[in-house]
């Protein structure tokens, strides 16, 4: 089994510095791209590899790049941004890549910038990743010193500047257009699309925003080809994937595995199964804003298509395990508290609806739930669902709620009939 | 309040990187907070004046981001993760422990100005939950028993 993204990541050793990274074949993809390939050839190879965006949306990366205006009539300034604002609750995969091998991200970004002919790039890093910030600053400086960044990269005439931007909180910054507003010094509220950022993004210029893990795949695709990348996978989506598991399992963690490994393999083989005394009750397969799956789904493949077919989303691929001693109502209340707090307030259904949902769930937990609350919750899953809000935050928040109402309905009803949380005695 | 030379120099550096001045406002807020620990009304006005913005426009940005502090904080800020993986792994026990040791709740500062306690969304440390950050330091797999010893290292 190949582990291209993590083969040089060793938790007990500091990450590779630039010379060490070069010795393992690092920056060869920059050399190949800027010297031997046209930008369009790089775009095509990435498109053919069927690399799908690892931030959760799962859109073909090469295809996304192909919407950027190219050629002599294209704007002189174009931006490329790495979304390193990892804030989806239960998600810790980009941290592994950022702390483990920052040069891999930088290399992927240089190749991607060449493919769309961007001249300015940013790494938008969440404030909490302090160790990563230090490492990235050092690595960017090394890359400048060696001529991989700056003017006339490797004598090719291609120029690229790279900056690290550290955030000051707010989940919304992970939303592509809200991130652009944050970089422009504004409140991180989402923008209307169209225009899409590829045409009019940061400061009104063509802009590509990709997730950290997406960029980390790029050098390997350029070096080894689209077919090789596809062959790493157990499914139609190309490549490997950084999967993670958290909750009451024996070995919580993150691992790079072939795309399309089953949930069972992930949970039982890699995470070591449930902790003694706990049983599996539900799984959010890819972060807080994905629908619950249950034990009956363990044999589905963790790829974009298969998880969607089972009624959820692969999302970030880092699953959160809910055990049988954890109250599903309390669990979903915690999620809705997060979403209500992180709503940017830009559109009314999200700003007003999420706190309402949170309050209903809290009243259930306190034993003040009423029969009609079930209907109210159900109603919100539609009113805050896709198509009624400006961005995906509220629809994402409704995913765990609607599936909890489906799979754990008895638990919700017991809170109302028994006037309290039946799990309190266990916790 | 007048911005110090160090602060204006740092803000000028950020202005040079963006197409127009007000795009540097988040950086300016971060810089001022770095020097004063928080961002006062006077600081909001000073930044507004420096970037040709209205104080209200600066404040609308300052109050949007949860790590720009618009109230004074203690010498050390504790950010306790209250998101889902830490919830499953029992962050509420840590919160109880912190309340016991510090005699303060979320959003409060100890009377001696030593600690401010704040809840925070997912710290991206879910495989080592529960987790918390004090100033620059991340603590993983924290137990209520370990809290006393961790807190003792901050004066």
Residue A416: how many CA atoms within 13 Å on its side-chain side?
A: 13
- Give residues with Cβ within 8 angstroms of B64, minimum separation 6: A170, A187, A188, A344
Distance CA A346, CA A342 (A): 11
| B contacts of A338 (beta carbons < 8 Å) | 82-84, 121-122
With CB atoms and an 8 Å threshold, state whether B124 touches A334.
Answer: no
> What's the Cα-to-Cα distance from A163 to each of A26, A171, A259, rounded to whole Å?
20, 21, 31
Distance CA B99, CA A83 (A): 36
Residue A427 has pLDDT above 80, yes or no: no
Q: Tell me the nearest-neighbour CA distance from B9 into chain A, angstroms.
A: 18
Domain boundaries, position B53? 5-62
Q: What is the CATH number of the domain that holds B13?
A: 1.10.10
Under 8 Å between Cβ of A87 and B84? no
Shared domain for B80 and B29, answered yes or no, is no
The residue-averaged pLDDT of B122-150 equals 95
pLDDT of residue B22: 96
Shared domain for B131 and B85, answered yes or no, is yes
Q: pLDDT tens digit string along B53-91?
A: 999 999 999 999 999 999 999 999 999 999 999 999 999
How many other CB atoms sit within 10 Å of the CB of residue A126?
Answer: 28
Shared domain for B144 and B95, answered yes or no, is yes
Of B91, B126, B84, B119, nearest in space to B105 by CA: B119
Q: A11 falls in which pLDDT band (50, 70, 90)?
A: confident
CA-derived radius of gyration, chain B: 18
Residue A370 has pLDDT above 70, yes or no: yes
| Nearest-by-Cβ selection for A246 from B18, B25, B85 | B85
Distance CA A87, CA A339 (A): 12
User: Pick from B62, B94, B110: which residue ends a domain?
Assistant: B62
The CA-based angle A158-A15-B77, given to 5 degrees, is 105
Continuous H helices in A117-208:
130-145, 176-183
What torsion, rounded to 10 degrees, do the Cα atoms A64, A69, A70, A76 define? Answer: -120
Beta bridge partners of B116: B77, B109
Shared domain for B82 and B128, answered yes or no, is yes
Please give the domain boundaries of chain A with CATH numbers for all domains. 18-231 (3.40.50.11540), 240-323 (3.10.20.600), 328-417 (1.20.1440.230)
Q: A425 falls in which pLDDT band (50, 70, 90)?
A: low
Residue B3 has pLDDT above 90, yes or no: yes
The residue-averaged pLDDT of A23-49 equals 98
Under 8 Å between Cβ of A62 and A44? yes
ipTM summary value:
0.96
Under 8 Å between Cβ of A278 and A324? yes
Shared domain for B105 and B54, answered yes or no, is no
Shared domain for B41 and B95, answered yes or no, is no
Q: Which of residues 121-180 of A touch B (CB under 8 A)?
A: 126-131, 163, 166-171
| A contacts of B13 (beta carbons < 8 Å) | none
Mean pLDDT of chain A: 96
Q: Which residue has the tokens 């507004």?
A: B48
The answer to whether residue B131 sits within a structural domain is: yes
Beta bridge partners of A253: A245
Shared domain for B11 and B58, answered yes or no, is yes
Under 8 Å between Cβ of B122 and B81? yes
pLDDT of residue A46: 98
| Nearest-by-Cβ selection for B122 from A87, A167, A253 | A87
DSSP A7-20: TT--TTSPPP-HHH
Q: DSSP 3-state helix, strand, coil percentages of chain B (rounded to 5)?
A: 50, 15, 40
The residue-averaged pLDDT of A171-175 equals 95
Percent of chain A with pLDDT over 70: 99
The answer to whether residue B71 sits within a structural domain is: no
The answer to whether residue B54 sits within a structural domain is: yes
| A contacts of B126 (beta carbons < 8 Å) | 89-92, 244, 246, 252, 318, 320
Residue A50 has pLDDT above 90, yes or no: yes
Shared domain for B129 and B102, answered yes or no, is yes
Q: Quick one: which H or E segment has residue A318? A: strand A318-323
Q: pLDDT tens digit string along A191-217?
A: 999 999 999 999 999 999 999 999 999
Shared domain for B94 and B147, answered yes or no, is yes
Q: At what angle do helices A373-383 and A348-365 cross, to 10 degrees?
A: 150
With CB atoms and an 8 Å threshold, state whether A89 touches B84.
Answer: yes
The residue-averaged pLDDT of B117-129 equals 96
Shared domain for B125 and B80, answered yes or no, is yes
Distance CA A320, CA A373 (A): 26
The residue-averaged pLDDT of A151-171 equals 96
Q: pLDDT tens digit string along A248-272?
A: 999 999 999 999 999 999 999 999 9
pLDDT of residue A57: 86
HEC secondary structure over A221-260: HHHHCHHHHHHCCCCCCCCEEEEEEECCECCCEEEEEECC
Q: pLDDT tens digit string along A56-109?
A: 889 999 999 999 999 999 999 999 999 999 999 999 999 999 999 999 999 999
Burial-class residue A227 by CB neighbours within 10 Å (0-12, 13-18, 19+): exposed
Q: What is the CATH number of the domain that holds B114?
A: 3.40.30.10
The answer to whether residue B67 sits within a structural domain is: no
A408 in helix, strand or coil? Answer: coil
Under 8 Å between Cβ of A398 and A379? no
Shared domain for B54 and B96, answered yes or no, is no
Which residue on chain A is closest to B33 by alpha carbon? A168
Return the residue in B61, B85, B96, B138 with the most chain A beta carbons within 10 A, the one to mutate for interface testing. B85
The answer to whether residue B130 sits within a structural domain is: yes
Say how many Å lie between the first and final Cα of chain B, rounded.
29
How many other CB atoms sit within 10 Å of the CB of residue A308?
Answer: 13
Put simply, whether A247 touches B (Cβ < 8 Å) is yes
pLDDT of residue A399: 98
Distance CA A381, CA A374 (A): 11
A321 in helix, strand or coil? Answer: strand
Mean pLDDT of chain B: 96
Distance CA A261, CA A252 (A): 17
| Nearest-by-Cβ selection for A170 from B65, B85, B88 | B65
Put simply, whether A55 touches B (Cβ < 8 Å) is no
The answer to whether residue B112 sits within a structural domain is: yes
Shared domain for B44 and B89, answered yes or no, is no
Percent of chain B with pLDDT over 90: 98
The answer to whether residue B45 sits within a structural domain is: yes
Number of structural domains (chain B) is 2
Residue B1 has pLDDT above 90, yes or no: no
The answer to whether residue B69 sits within a structural domain is: no
> What's the Cα-to-Cα distance from A357 to each of A115, A333, A339, rounded to whole Å?
44, 8, 10
Burial-class residue A299 by CB neighbours within 10 Å (0-12, 13-18, 19+): exposed
Question: Is the whole model's pTM more than 0.80, yes or no?
Answer: yes
Q: Quick one: which H or E segment has residue B57? A: helix B55-62
Residue A426 has pLDDT above 70, yes or no: no
Put simply, whether A100 touches B (Cβ < 8 Å) is no
Distance CA A235, CA B108 (A): 51
The residue-averaged pLDDT of A357-384 equals 97
Give, as one character, the DSSP assignment of residue A66. T
């Amino acid at each position: 089994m190949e582990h291209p993204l993590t083969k040089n990541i060793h938790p007990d050793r500091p990450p590779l510095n630039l010379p060490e990274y070069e010795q393992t074949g690092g920056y060869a993809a920059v050399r190949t791209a800027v010297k031997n390939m046209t930008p369009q050839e790089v775009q095509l190879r990435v498109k053919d590899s069927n690399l799908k965006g690892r931030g959760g949306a799962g859109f073909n990366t090469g295809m996304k790049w192909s919407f950027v205006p190219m050629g002599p009539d294209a704007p002189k300034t174009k931006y490329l941004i790495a979304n390193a604002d990892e804030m989806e609750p239960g998600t810790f995969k980009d941290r592994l890549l950022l702390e483990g091998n920052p040069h891999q991200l930088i290399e992927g970004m240089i190749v991607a910038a060449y493919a769309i002919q961007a001249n300015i790039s940013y790494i938008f890093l969440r404030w909490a990743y302090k160790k990563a910030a230090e490492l990235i600053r050092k690595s960017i400086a090394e890359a400048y010193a060696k001529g991989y960044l700056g003017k006339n990269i490797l004598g090719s005439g291609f120029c690229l500047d790279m900056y690290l931007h550290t955030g000051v909180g707010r989940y919304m910054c992970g939303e592509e257009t809200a991130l652009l507003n944050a970089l422009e010094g504004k409140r991180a509220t989402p923008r209307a699309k169209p225009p899409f950022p590829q045409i009019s993004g940061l400061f009104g210029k063509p802009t590509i925003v990709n997730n950290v893990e997406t960029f980390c795949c790029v050098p390997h695709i350029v070096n080894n080809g689209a077919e090789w990348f596809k062959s790493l996978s157990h499914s139609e989506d190309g490549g490997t994937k950084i999967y993670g598991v958290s909750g009451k399992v024996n070995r919580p963690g993150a691992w790079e595995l072939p795309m399309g490994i089953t949930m069972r393999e992930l949970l039982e083989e890699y995470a070591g199964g449930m902790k003694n005394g706990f049983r599996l009750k539900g799984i959010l397969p890819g972060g807080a804003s994905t629908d619950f799956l249950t034990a009956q789904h363990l044999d589905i493949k963790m790829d974009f298509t298969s998880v969607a077919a089972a009624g959820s989303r692969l999302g970030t691929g880092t699953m959160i395990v809910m055990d049988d001693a954890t109250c599903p109502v309390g669990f979903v209340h915690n999620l809705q508290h997060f979403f209500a707090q992180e709503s940017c307030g830009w559109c009314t259904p999200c700003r007003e609806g999420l706190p309402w949902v949170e309050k209903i769930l809290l009243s259930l937990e306190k034993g003040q739930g009423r029969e009609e609350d079930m209907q109210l919750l159900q109603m919100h899953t539609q009113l805050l669902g896709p198509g009624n809000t400006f961005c995906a935050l509220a629809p994402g928040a409704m995913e765990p709620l609607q599936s909890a109402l489906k799979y754990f309905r008895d638990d919700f009803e017991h809170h109302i009939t028994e006037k309290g949380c039946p799990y309190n005695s266990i916790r | 309040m007048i911005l110090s030379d160090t602060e204006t120099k740092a803000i000028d550096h950020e202005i040079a990187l963006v197409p127009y001045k007000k795009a540097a406002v988040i950086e300016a807020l971060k810089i001022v907070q770095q020097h004063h620990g928080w961002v006062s009304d006077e600081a909001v006005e000073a930044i507004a004046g420096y970037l040709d913005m209205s104080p209200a426009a600066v404040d609308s940005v300052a109050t949007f981001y949860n790590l720009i502090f618009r109230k004074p904080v203690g010498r050390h800020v504790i950010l306790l993760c209250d998101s889902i993986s830490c919830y499953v792994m029992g962050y509420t026990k840590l919160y109880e422990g912190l309340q016991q040791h510090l005699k303060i709740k979320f959003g409060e500062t100890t009377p001696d100005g030593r600690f401010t306690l704040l809840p925070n969304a997912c710290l991206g440390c879910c495989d080592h939950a529960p987790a918390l950050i004090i100033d620059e330091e991340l603590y993983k797999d924290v137990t209520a028993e370990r809290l006393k010893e961790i807190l003792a290292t901050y004066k």
